[in-house]
């Protein structure tokens, strides 16, 4: 069963309605045991990353996320769920899950750009990447965020977006992919991306984490 992780990080309804539309059976869960037994995990989130990490720890979901990844379960992080897979976030300088080496950094406030970055922005992805199969290069996805993924190893980035700076719009490590934008709010392209993830099979012959 596909499990949508509920850790009090905003409204899960839009992810749910998208899954329903795609005909995907799923449960919303706060239970670590359910994560470990999942066939796939969707890890959404809006709001405050530091708060989200606090709730994950309280519910024992942080250890469950690490265990799920070590068990090669396909995981999709979305928005704040893409930021807290890193070692830390600059949002209230919080320590995060450490599933991917790197940091969620705040957009510079000294530029003329408005922060949060809100709206549709173009995404360039790594050629032939499975997550973007059937989606045109430079398709726009919907973003709402003040912090952006900054992986230590540039090979962990699989897609990029420009907003004053170029940042990683999506990352992949082992069985985890995470996108900074909201596929559930990005029209047909976003639904296609979700479909691509849901069609991904668990494979134990892939390294759980690239760095072992």
Partner 1 sequence: MLQKRVIVCLDVRDGKTTKGIRFKGNVDIGDPVEMARAYYEAGVDELVFYDITASAERRGIMIDVVRDVAGQIFIPFSVGGGIGSVDDMRQVLLAGAEKVSVNSQAVRDPSIISAGAKRFGNQAIVLGMDVLADSALPSGYRVVIDGGRVETDFDALDWARRAVELGAGEIVLNSIDADGTKDGYELKVTRLIATSVGVPVIASGGAGTPGHLVDVFSEGRADAALIASMVHFGEYTIGQIKQHLAANDVPVRQVDI
Q: Which residues are catalytic?
A: 79, 182, 184
Structure-block tokens of residue 164 = 């004053």
Asked if 196 touches partner 1 (CB under 8 A), the answer is: no
Binding mask 42-81 for partner 1 (x = CB under 8 A): ----xxx---------------------------------
Q: Using the rule CB under 8 A, give the single segment among 23-31, 118-126, 147-155, 195-203 that binds partner 1.
A: 118-126
Closest to partner 1 by CB, 68 or 123:
123
- 8 A C-beta contact, residue 60 and residue 34: no
Structural element, H or E, at residue 197 = helix 187-198
Cβ 13 to partner 1, closest distance in Å? 5
Residues in Cβ contact with 2 at an 8 Å cutoff, skipping those fewer than 6 apart: 19, 24, 25, 26, 27, 38, 39, 40, 41, 42, 198
The string of DSSP letters for 108-150 reads PSSSSS-SSEEEEEEEEE-TT-GGGTT--TTEEEEEEESEEEE
Binder among 43, 86, 163, 167 for partner 1 (CB under 8 A) = 163
Asked if 88 touches partner 1 (CB under 8 A), the answer is: no
Sites of contact with partner 1 (CB under 8 A): 10-11, 13-14, 17-18, 20-21, 46-48, 114-122, 134-136, 139-140, 142, 144, 162-163, 184-192
């Amino acid at each position: 069963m596909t499990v949508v992780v509920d850790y009090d990080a905003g409204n899960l309804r839009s992810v749910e309605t998208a899954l329903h539309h795609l005909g995907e059976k799923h449960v919303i869960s706060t239970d670590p045991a359910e994560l470990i037994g999942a066939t796939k995990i969707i890890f959404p989130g809006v709001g405050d990353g530091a708060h989200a990490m606090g709730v994950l720890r309280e519910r024992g979901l942080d250890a469950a996320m690490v265990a799920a990844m070590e068990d090669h379960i396909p995981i999709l992080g979305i928005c704040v769920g893409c930021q807290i897979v890193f070692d830390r976030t600059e949002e209230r300088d919080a320590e995060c899950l450490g599933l991917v080496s790197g940091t969620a950094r705040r957009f510079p406030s000294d530029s003329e750009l408005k922060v949060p970055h809100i709206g549709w922005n173009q995404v360039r992805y790594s050629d032939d990447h499975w997550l973007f199969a059937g989606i045109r290069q430079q398709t726009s996805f919907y973003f709402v965020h003040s912090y952006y993924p900054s992986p230590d190893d540039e090979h962990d980035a699989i897609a990029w977006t420009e907003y004053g700076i170029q940042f990683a719009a999506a990352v992949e490590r082992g069985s985890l992919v995470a996108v900074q934008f909201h596929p559930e709010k990005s029209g047909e392209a976003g639904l296609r991306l979700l479909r691509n993830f849901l069609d991904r099979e668990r494979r134990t012959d892939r390294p759980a984490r690239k760095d072992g």
